[in-house]
């Protein structure tokens, strides 16, 4: 899937091998900022972390198979993070989840909600998904603000849901169904902005 999405200075495009140096530099500068929220492999998995090239190859295969879409988040053309629409399931479920991270230098400026809105609208209106969820550690105040801004509905606590920062961590689960988003989440953000402005 060749997905290109944008809203002003925020753009999403497929993660590419050519992003390797920018991705590594942003991850290096943000190690302390991102580590508490990064997925890790549990010891029993014996999985070896892939090279960047290997990761991109796997992500492209997943996109081709329709399982997930990993997108580079850019702001004014500069690499700033990553957004993934993952666990895409069609058929009677028609569901997916959104995961994301952003360079701390860009955090708190509204870029993440816009990126999540873009990928969610793509899921709802282009892929015709019925439901999208976001799962967030209870301690992740910045991500909790993202779902609040976008109006994701709280669905409950998932105990020991995902292996993060070397342990099984609880997550709050939030979701929206297509009938709850009206003209879309990008439109919702624009309306909020015009009311505040």
pLDDT value at residue 1:
60
Burial of residue 79 (CB within 10 Å: 0-12, 13-18, 19+) is middle
Q: Residue 3: is it exposed, middle or buried by C-beta count within 10 angstroms (0-12/13-18/19+)?
A: middle
Model pLDDT, residue 197: 63
Return the residue matching tokens 């492999």.
Answer: 41
Give dist(CA 163, CA 148) in Å, integer: 24
Q: Residue 101's domain spans which residues?
A: 5-196
Query: DSSP assignment of 45-70, as one string?
Result: G-PPPPPHHHHHHHHHHHHHTTS-EE
pLDDT for the residue 46 = 65
CATH number, residue 129:
3.40.630.30
Per-residue pLDDT tens listing for the chain (197 residues)? 689 999 999 999 999 999 999 999 999 999 999 999 998 888 887 676 778 898 899 999 999 999 999 999 999 999 999 999 999 999 999 999 999 999 999 999 999 999 999 999 999 999 999 999 999 999 999 999 999 999 999 999 999 999 999 899 999 999 999 999 999 999 999 999 887 76
> Residue 30 carries which DSSP code?
T
Give the per-residue pLDDT at 148: 97
- If one counts the domains in the chain, the total is 1
């Amino acid at each position: 899937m060749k997905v290109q999405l944008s809203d002003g200075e925020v753009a999403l495009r497929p993660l590419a091998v050519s992003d390797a140096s920018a991705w590594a530099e942003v991850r290096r500068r943000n190690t302390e900022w991102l580590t508490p929220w990064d997925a890790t492999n549990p010891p029993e998995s014996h999985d070896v972390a892939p090279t960047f090239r290997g990761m991109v190859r796997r992500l492209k295969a997943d996109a081709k198979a329709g399982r997930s879409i990993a997108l580079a988040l850019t702001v004014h053309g500069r690499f700033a993070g990553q957004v993934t629409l993952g666990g895409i399931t069609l058929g009677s479920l028609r569901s997916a989840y959104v995961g994301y991270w952003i360079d701390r230098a860009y955090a708190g400026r509204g870029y993440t909600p816009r990126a999540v809105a873009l990928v969610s609208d793509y899921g709802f209106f282009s892929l015709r998904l019925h439901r999208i969820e976001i799962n967030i550690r209870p301690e992740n105040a910045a991500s909790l603000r993202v779902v609040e801004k976008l109006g994701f509905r709280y669905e409950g606590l998932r105990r020991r849901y995902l292996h993060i920062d070397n342990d099984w961590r609880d997550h709050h689960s939030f979701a929206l169904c297509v009938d709850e988003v009206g003209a879309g989440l990008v439109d919702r953000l624009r309306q909020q902005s015009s009311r505040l402005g």
